[in-house]
Amino acid sequence: MNFRIGQGYDVHTFGDGDHVMLGGVRVPHERGIVAHSDGDVVIHALCDAMLGALALGDIGRHFPPGDPQWKDANSLLFLRHCNGLIAGQGGWRVGNADITVVCERPKVGPHADAMRALLAAELGIGLDAVSVKATTSERMGFTGRGEGIAAMAVCLLVKA
């Protein structure tokens, strides 16, 4: 078995709106997200981790932020594309992924299992191979002040 590891990080600011997309799940919130796509920081961080594991650049290289075709795009499209990309590099797949969301609110915990199920299904891997966690910043910094939301992802790619 061959292994590669990658990490990813993404941040978006809160803006007008009534929900945030996290891990493909619509989470009700009194703010929305400012982004070119749907601004799903969980998926963006995961895509960057998958791309990084094979040194394939980053999400902005594959889906340029100025490209109108990605306006309001569902980020699951990006994940599907990245999963196909790594498979096409000789048969890599995600062995497991571990994601941490950083925000004071919304509460992520009640939605984490739905995110895990969606991401695992999209990647074609087991539920136990996808972890979604959350933490606050104890009211410090930009996430602590509620200005934005961040996510970090680590993933292991495996190939027989």
Ligand X SMILES: C[C@@]1(CO)OP(=O)(O)OP(=O)(O)OC[C@H]1O
* CA-to-CA separations, 20 to 5, 26, 53, 89, 102, in angstroms, rounded: 28, 6, 27, 33, 13
Interface of this chain with ligand L45E5XJ5, residues 117 to 136, rule: CB under 6 A: 134-136
CB of 135 to ligand X, least distance (A): 20
What is the distance between the alpha carbons of residues 27 and 21, in angstroms, rounded to a whole number? 6
Beta strand pairing call for 148-159 and 2-15: antiparallel
Residue of 103, 129, 132, 150 that binds ligand L45E5XJ5 (CB under 6 A): 103
Q: Which backbone phi and psi does 66 adopt, to 5 degrees?
A: -90, -5
- Closest C-alpha to 68, from 97, 92, 36: 36
Write the interaction track for ligand X spanning residues 56-95; mark x where CB under 6 A is met and - where it is not. Answer: ---xx--x-x----x-------------------------
Q: Is 20 in the site for ligand L45E5XJ5 (CB under 6 A)?
A: no
| Helix intervals (H) in 8-88 | 41-53, 59-62, 76-87
Q: Which stretch binds ligand L45E5XJ5 (CB under 6 A): 12-20, 24-32, 34-42, 100-108?
A: 100-108
Which residues make up the interface to ligand L45E5XJ5 (CB under 6 A)? 103, 105, 107-109, 134-136
Binding-site residues from annotation: 10-12, 36-37, 44, 58-60, 135-138, 142, 145
